[in-house]
Homo-oligomer: A and B are copies of this chain.
Amino acid sequence: MNTRGFASDNNSGVSPEVIEKLKAVNQGHVVGYGDDPYTLEALNVLKNQFGPDCHPYLVFTGTAANVLSIASMEKPYHSVFCAETAHIQVDECGAPERFTGCKLIPVATKNGKLDPGMLEPHMTGFGFEHHAQPGLISISQPTELGTVYTLAELKALADFAHSQGMLLHVDGARLANAAVSLGVSFREMTSDTGVDLLSFGGTKNGLLAAESVIIFRPEMLAGFKYIRKQAMQLSSKMRFIAAQFLAYFENDLWKKNALHSNRMAQKLFHAVKDIEGVTITQEVQANGVFAIIPGYAIPLLQDAYFFYVWNDKTGEVRWMTSFDSTEEDIDRFAGRLKEILKRD
């Protein structure tokens, strides 16, 4: 049995229901590439969750969902504004630039969240052919720092984007964690606030490899299926991605998983926040805990539990809880940390 840790929610496996569903759809032949009843059903489920005017497309990875969201604009001369901590900026190896041609413009933030005031100074050069044209604001919900935008903040960003003739994209690789954190539906958080493009992820919350691009603007659909194919994201046996989303929404598996991992993050936060030597650096609003711990403690703790150092300079580390984290895992982890720091 592999040890459960706090390195990333994608270090976990998948919910058993997911594999059961893979087995359930493994019956005879169906047309490939998404023209099958399981995919049709999954798309309908997604429409129910996000609003009848949205158009979901299934893909394999979160990076693909982000890149395809940008690519859906079909404007390689657009610029994309994002937090300097955004996944598209620091964790996708330049895939957005390579595939879309767009320029990414990172904006410094304190907690991973953008607001219109931060973007205002960049609203220049419209119509000036020397400048990449401001085209998209891309945010992560929750952010890479575990913070969550309120509905009002989302709406403010969408309104701002639209007032500038731009679109708003949400990287929702962990959107379920944000939804349960805010206690709102997916629809309230997306189509109701004015989101135009969404990367909706399932992999980090108990699925195997199932992500989607959800487009809320019908006028952007005509070419998208070709772009997905060009991005090498059209699954031949699509029913097996569809099956994962079917499992995700049956009996609210998504909610159960996200509530659990968020709760585990809270438990972890409370278990470590008062340990001497530990400084929590970000509000814990989803399933991530960010902290600064003494440099010497990092490798000692990593010996038992692999995790990522977020910032080499400050010693900030990131601990992610997962759908399968247990209370015992956290007790043991916090206990080990306490033990290490006590030696100080």
Chain B hits for A312, CB < 8 A: 124
Which residues of the other chain, B, contact A228 by a CB distance below 8 angstroms? 129
In the complex, the answer to whether B27 meets A8 with C-beta atoms within 8 Å is no
Contact of A11 among B4, B30, B78 (CB under 8 A): B30
**Which residues of the partner chain B approach A236 to less than 8 Å between Cβ atoms?**
8, 10, 61-62, 203-204, 209
Neighbouring B residues of A5 by C-beta, 8 Å: 29
Cα-based distance from A3 to B29 in the complex (angstroms): 6
Q: Which residues of B contact A109 (CB under 8 A)?
A: none
- Number of residues from A at the complex interface, CB < 8 A: 87
- A interface vs B, CB < 8 Å? 1-5, 7-8, 10-14, 16, 19, 22-23, 25-33, 59-64, 67, 74-79, 90-95, 97-99, 101-106, 121, 124-125, 129-133, 203-204, 208-209, 223, 225-237, 239-241, 306, 312-313, 322, 324
Give 26 pairs: A residue, B residue, CB < 8 Å, sorted on A.
A7-B29, A10-B237, A12-B28, A22-B208, A29-B324, A31-B306, A60-B61, A60-B235, A61-B232, A77-B93, A77-B230, A78-B94, A91-B130, A92-B130, A93-B133, A93-B229, A94-B102, A94-B132, A95-B229, A97-B102, A98-B102, A103-B104, A129-B225, A129-B234, A203-B236, A209-B237
